[in-house]
Homo-oligomer: A and B are copies of this chain.
Amino acid sequence: MTESDIAVKVGSRETETAILEAARNLLAEGGLNALSMRAVASQVGLSATAIYHWFEGKEDLVDRVVQHGFQRSEAYMWKAIEDLPAGSMERVAALGEAYIRFALENREYFKIIFAIQTPTPRHIDDVPGKGGYRVLRQCVIEAMDAGNIRRTDPDMVVLFLWSVVHGLVTIFMACDPKEMLAETGCCDDMDEQELTIGLFARFRDLVRVGLEPGEGTEGGRDA
């Protein structure tokens, strides 16, 4: 058994990942339309129908691409908070920022998951929530224990926070932020990500006050 034989055998396993990688690149560059079976196949050096030996069809292929993409979200989130003190609101805020950055860097995945044709409303087990939800939930609970968030159903708070950042980010994926905030004038000389995160920073005051425990809410901390 020569080395090339081994290479062939191992290579067969790698074919699957090569297909996935090619599909991922095409998706990132040209969106879903650019991800065609034939384009993927030609990038891998196969015929289009060979893909069907590794994936059930295009839907399955796209599913796996997106799934793999979102599996990185949990690590991405952990990394965003590792240097911040547990139980602090800074952690919660950092997670929001991380979600926004992740979404803007992987917007094709988001478009697919959060909108596109799900003819069968399939098993969505790894929407970025699955990874991110756990992280955020833990941070919220720790912040409750530390007395920085008033005690309520943590899932409700998590879903609320998730809604805020997810809504902001998807709105800006559809509408041009600069066009939308033209009169507000807070937008020039920033790229999209800076702008979105900047807006999120201004949301944080509204959110924080809403989550604060008992009394001591001196209003107007914003202007």
Q: Which of A36-44, A46-54, A75-83, A157-165 binds B? A: A157-165
- Residues of A in contact with B, size category: 35 or more
User: In angstroms, how far is the closest chain B Cβ from the Cβ of A208?
Assistant: 7
Known: A114-B114, A156-B199, A156-B202. A174 touches B127 (CB 8 A): yes
Does A1 count as interface, using CB distance less than 8 angstroms?
no
Q: A124 touching B175 by the CB < 8 A rule?
A: yes
> Which one of B153, B168, B214, B218 lies within 8 Å of A167 (CB-CB)?
B168
Interface centre among A113, A129, A155 (most CB of B within 10 A): A155
Q: Which residues of B contact A116 (CB under 8 A)?
A: 111, 115-116
Q: Which of A9-17, A18-26, A84-92, A177-185 binds B? A: A177-185
User: In angstroms, how far is the closest chain B Cβ from the Cβ of A143?
Assistant: 14
Q: Which residues of B contact A127 (CB under 8 A)?
A: 171, 174-175
User: In angstroms, how far is the closest chain B Cβ from the Cβ of A148?
Assistant: 12
11 contacts between A and B (CB under 8 A): A114-B114, A127-B175, A151-B223, A155-B184, A163-B163, A163-B168, A164-B164, A164-B167, A166-B170, A206-B211, A207-B210
